[in-house]
Structure 1
Amino acid sequence: MMRLLPLAASILSFFLVLRSGRAQAPAFFVFGDSLTDPGNNKFLVTTAQAAFRPNGIDFPGGKATGRFCNGFTVVDLIAQELGLPLVPAYHDPNTKGSVILKGVSYASGGARILNDSSVNFLQNIQPLGKQIQNFVNTRSEIVLLVGGEDPAFDLLSRTRSKSPQEFQDQVISAYKGYLNRAYQLGARKIVVFALGPLGCIPFKREGNILGANGKACHEEANTLAVNFDRALKDMVSGMNRDLNGAKMVFGTTYDLFYDATNNPSKYGFVNGRDACCGVSPLRLFACLPLGSVCSTRNQYFYWDAYHPTESANRLIASAILSGNKTIMFPFNLKQLIDL
């Protein structure tokens, strides 16, 4: 039980739009983990890397950019749909000057909300607290470019919990604190994403292969994710009530993920259970240079044991942009931008 929720708590992300004076900039500032990392980890000393083929095999030019995917991430696809450039990695030396006015991604593969849960990769990943600090740096640069004042920022203190419920409460509290800081820094339009069915990712599903359920989803992990998502939605609703002018959206693709992985043909996929790329016959682990790759990548929902393919990301991006209130509450992303 103790090891499931820390994994769940790592797969979170949020977008925000930074206000500048009276106008809102058409830009994305992205916080998260490997699902949204555009290549930050490529510039960090960490074992959580994707800056090698076959990652990026379907990216323009077949280039491995550090994205944990065969092609574009959800953030890339949303940016393209809205006419924005691909959101650059904060740690890329070229992310400076006027480039940052269109948005920056601080997402780091393996990142967690709590600093003391960032232990799996042993090295220099960027937990959410550090990502917020990096955003403060970017905001200071924006202030120099467009004018304004830079408010103070304080880090939250955290302690390790002893049970899944205590850990959940601790993560929600820390997450709320970080979102409050983002609000204080000028963010008003914020999209907070819930967890998906973590028990259905290939890594957890294949873990059941020797059990009575064969390759069924790991429902204990899914239950933890559902409980966490309920608490997260309550938090977002409360912040919308309490923060003047805040337009926070709660996004959940849990049902979409669950249905697509268990009924893939409904969404144009042939395989919703297995990883397209990975090491070992079951492709249980990350997509590494010596791993095997399926030839029909657009027919697979999962790229590796943890991350969706570009084809799956297109399905998810469409839901985020234009989905109904069961997916994006109370607004989808296009509605939020138009407010």
Structure 2
Amino acid sequence: MTLLPSQASDDERLLALAREALQTEIQGLQAMQQRLDGRFAQAVRVVLACRGRVVVMGMGKSGHVGRKIAATLASTGTPALFVHPAEASHGDLGMITATDVVLAISNSGESDELSAILPLIKRMGVPLLAMTGRADSTLARHADVVLDTGVAREACPHNLAPTASTTAQMAMGDALAVALLSARGFQPDDFARSHPGGALGRRLLTLVRDVMRPLEATPRVAPGATLMETMRAMSAGGLGATAVVDEAGRPIGIFTDGDLRRLIEARDGMGLRELTAGEIMHPRPRTVRPQMLAVEAAQLMEAHRITSVLVVDDDGRLAGALNHHDLMRAKVI
């Protein structure tokens, strides 16, 4: 599409405004980064010592940021919830217990709804952390620890709409969550347990035993089985392969649809009936354990360019099988 000169000029103006807004927010974050001091570490220690939850509060845009901060904390090992300051004055203050920590967010530090309940929070003896852009505000004076989220100006061209200031609040909340999860030794599998319905949860919580085909559904033949017997086992199993097992039930080989095609091509279809599974199998097949992560089995299959893998127990006996369709159905891959 060809732009008219006026359209091209308008696009450049819009892009310039966007770049200026982003630059203003970047400068605000950089300035806040330089101001970080021991108060941040003190805030982290207060939360780590908390036996209850972090109760996040904020009005307006700060409230929206607060909801996100509470969600981030909760999903990274720090129990948290959001309480609306206006609702707190009408009964929701009862959601705060003596074992909690309150994190109050206000750029001006003078939100009426928040200011009204600060004395009550202090009377409860609950530690109060503040995120504010004004060190001399009502919120800052009541707080035990103040995290400075002030910015020189908003990204709004009129310096009115909360933009750079809410970005600073959000970033400070992320910094707090990251410091806390590191201090707690929070690991990816801990994160997955908080997100069992997500892709990460499936990848980090799903084990081979959760998605594998059981032994009774796994085709298998003895080394002395004829090619026809081997093919019938493969067809009945629907796996595209069959295990070749010894008398103890340990897999000594595997024979796949691909092996069959290559065998027919190599022999031009001649002399196949006399062959046994032991003669045509692929020896020393790749195996996995039931307790292995399914994603690790998927990685092994991908690395060796195979579509099926045998599952063995701790004694090396065949316990089942797994192929890429099973992993796809479980949304592991």
TM-score by length of 2: 0.27
If each structure's helix is expressed as a fraction of its own residues, which one has the higher value?
Answer: 2
Larger Rg: 2
TM-score by length of 1: 0.26
